[in-house]
Structure 1
Amino acid sequence: MTGTVLRFVTHSTHPPFGHRSGIFKVAYGLSRALPATTSCVEELAEQLIWFENNMAKSTRFSTSRHPRAQGTAISWVKASAHEHVRRLRLLVALVEEAGHVQIDELRTERPGYIVFEDNHQVVALPFADTPR
């Protein structure tokens, strides 16, 4: 893995591991909770569908192949995946507007021990100094 990776996170933590919850968790929660008449619900749904169709879903969140191993890895998008980053920033704006939730952008070149990688993303077990 080379280059910078990005992660968009809330200020709430993801139990039980303590890292901050990502943009998709809050975006899906809002898409289910907001009334259909809310102005940004349709655009929010469109962006989530785009990611479902254009971003692989990792099946590994641990270095162990044991079926009950704790999946503590976190997902990052590659800064070089320009369309994904552009759409993530649009998703951030929609979430902040609709849910009044502040989203922070984390950047690193050291996401951790990589358990999954493709052209658009990295899933890694964070190092001690990896931002979360």
Structure 2
Amino acid sequence: MSATLLRYVAADPERESDRPEGVFAAAYDILHRDVSPAYLQAEIRKTLDWFVRELPIPDRFVSSRKAHRADTGLCWFKSDSVDCIRNVRYLVHLVVECGIPVREIRTNSPGYVIYEDDHQVVAKPTADTPR
């Protein structure tokens, strides 16, 4: 894969897992907890709704069709998907405003590609995939 791919990972101190979660999971957690200011929750909801309308939902997140396999792929944005990048960076800003740090990860090698469209890639990470 030649294009740069971007992923946004949150380190939510409220989560019990030490495994980082994507910025979308963090945003939905913020809405579920209902402890952030109403204006931030409204902006998060509006931004998430944009993604629901505009970004295709991948039809695969695992590399195997066997139900017992847990090879869940990681989702990456293509750097040339300008509208998606602009909106996800705004979502990152909102999540950070709610007290959850978020970092951007870049790669050209996301691992074994499970799904791809014009805006995103879902890939099973390898040992070399940044997380």
Asked if these proteins are the same fold (TM beyond 0.5), I'd say yes
Unpaired runs of at least 5, structure 2: none
Cα distance per residue 1:32-54 (max 9 Å; x no partner): 22258622111110000011111
Percent of residue pairs identical: 36
Q: Give the aligned residue type for 1:111.
A: P
Structure 1 segments, 4+ long, off by >4 Å, are none
Contact 2:63-2:72 at 8 Å conserved across structures: no
Contact 1:60-1:71 at 8 Å conserved across structures: no
Q: Secondary structure at the match of 1:77?
A: strand
> With structure 1 as the length reference, what TM-score do the two structures score?
0.87
Return the alpha-carbon distance in structure 1 between the equivalents of residues 36 and 111 of structure 2.
Answer: 39
> With structure 2 as the length reference, what TM-score do the two structures score?
0.88
Q: Which residue of 2 aligns with 1:6?
A: 6
Return the alpha-carbon distance in structure 2 between the equivalents of residues 6 and 54 of structure 1.
Answer: 18
- How many corresponding residue pairs? 129
Q: Which residue of 1 aligns with 2:41?
A: 41
Q: Which residue of 2 aligns with 1:62?
A: 62
Return the alpha-carbon distance in structure 2 between the equivalents of residues 109 and 20 of structure 1.
Answer: 20
Q: Which residue of 2 aligns with 1:115?
A: 114
In structure 2, the CA distance between the partners of 1:11 and 1:109, relative to structure 1 (3 Å rule), is: same
Q: What is the RMSD of the two structures over their aligned residues, measured on CA atoms?
A: 2.2
Unpaired runs of at least 5, structure 1: none
